[in-house]
Amino acid sequence: MTTEMIYLQTAACGRPSAGTVAAMVDHLRLEVEVGGYAAQAASGPVLQQAYEGLGSLLGADADGVVIVAGATDGLLTLLGSWAFPEGATVGVVPAEWGPNLDAFARFGLRPVLLPVDDRGVLDLEAFEQALHADPPALVHLTQLASHRCVAQPVAEAVGLCRTAEVPLWADAAQALGHLDTATGADAVYAPARKWLAGPRGVGVLAVNQRARDRLSPLCQRPLQDESPIAAMRHGEVPVAAQVGFAHAVREYLEAGPDAVRASLAALGQRTREAVRGLPGWSLADPADAVGAVVGLRPTAGQDVEAVVSRLRDEDRILTTACLPWRAAEMDGPLLRLAPEPGTDEAALACLTRGLG
């Protein structure tokens, strides 16, 4: 048995670096020394740098970026700030994150399925025809599914939506820090805690400049003369977590986004090769999958949740059970592997032994 945990759970929660942890602790110490509000004011330059870095990653300028409480909070903030007519529809793919559908329903938006190919990827030709024949009020794409490595062509869809004058929002929860997320979407949101390895409890919402006049957020009375994004930045927020997020973003940018993405793509391929052909399991990812989310389908009646527990307790391997509530396309549970950067062949060998 290994003594350290083998971390194949980055798609749930990445492991923050020592620098990120230190940045949060240092801010908390500053709050003790000078008070919470003074410490928050002192963090202004650090957070501004984070807005700029996140904007570059999400295809928005810094003035369109707000740090929120996570991906779900980003979506709820959008839905509460962007008016739609009664009975409006939102176009989604079958791999859409299930809780997003619940949020749409709560705000009166009716989901309609967009055409996809046999991989579950948006069929751009059929999509273009649908936009002209019966356009939804909104198109929403989860750029990378949470249960298997299905990536949507968000940038191409943005171009088609712009021609049809239909807004497109992107859920980048699994894509930020993992894939290219500067797609030109009208709005995009993600948590800090996954592939950027930031702290839990914060995330990002970025709104493209052309879409900001659609925003009308609920804001405090003293802030009513500010821009919608500026107003969203106020409130009771965990500043230490924001500072930690800023540090994680800086580390990611210093490492080089292209290099990190290429490394994750190669790591995903190595992981798929390691588990390909294991008795009792089949890959749920498309053959052309690019990324480090790996979905395994049980073929011998295994209880996936029990497998996750056994791998954790007996082999010290962290994985995730993806249950069918995650997406309409799921007909059963999947075992998700999401190796952190630097996962080596010895760790993958431990995994195959644990699953064998």
The tens-digit pLDDT sequence of the chain (356 residues) is 345 899 999 999 999 999 999 999 999 999 999 999 999 999 999 999 999 999 999 999 999 999 999 999 999 999 999 999 999 999 999 999 999 999 999 999 999 999 999 999 999 999 999 999 999 999 999 999 999 999 999 999 999 999 999 999 999 999 999 999 999 999 999 999 999 999 999 999 999 999 999 998 877 665 566 788 888 888 788 999 999 999 999 999 999 999 999 999 999 999 999 999 999 999 999 999 999 999 999 999 999 999 999 999 999 999 999 999 999 999 999 999 999 999 999 999 999 999 98
Residue 1: what pLDDT?
A: 37
Residue closest to 28 by CA, chosen among 18, 39, 37: 39
Return the structure tokens found at 64. Answer: 């369109």
Query: Which residues are paired to 338 by β-bridges?
Result: 9
Q: How far apart are CA 191 and CA 208, in angstroms?
A: 18
* 18-255 to CATH, choices 3.10.580.10, 3.90.650.10, 1.10.3720.10, 3.40.640.10: 3.40.640.10
**Cα separations (Å) of 226 from 64, 229, 257?**
13, 8, 33
Q: Where are the domains of the chain?
A: 6-15+256-355, 18-255
Residue 152: what pLDDT?
A: 98
Query: Which residues are paired to 122 by β-bridges?
Result: 116
Q: What is the pTM of this model?
A: 0.95
Q: How far apart are CA 223 and CA 220, in angstroms?
A: 5
Q: How far apart are CA 301 and CA 71, in angstroms?
A: 33
Residue 11: what pLDDT?
A: 98
Q: How far apart are CA 189 and CA 202, in angstroms?
A: 11
Residue closest to 292 by CA, chosen among 141, 193, 174, 199: 174
Tens digits of per-residue pLDDT, 32-81?
Answer: 999 999 999 999 999 999 999 999 999 999 999 999 999 999 999 999 99
According to the CATH classification, is domain 6-15+256-355 in 3.90.1150.10?
yes
- Strand spans (E) along the chain: 6-7, 65-68, 89-92, 110-113, 138-142, 168-171, 187-191, 203-207, 281-283, 294-298, 317-318, 320-322, 334-337
Tens digits of per-residue pLDDT, 176-226?
Answer: 999 999 999 999 999 999 999 999 999 999 999 999 999 988 776 655 667
Phi/psi for 140 (5° steps) reads -125, 125
Residue 177 near residue 16, CB atoms below 8 Å:
no
Q: How far apart are CA 53 and CA 13, in angstroms?
A: 21
The number of CA neighbours under 13 Å toward the Cβ of 88 is: 18
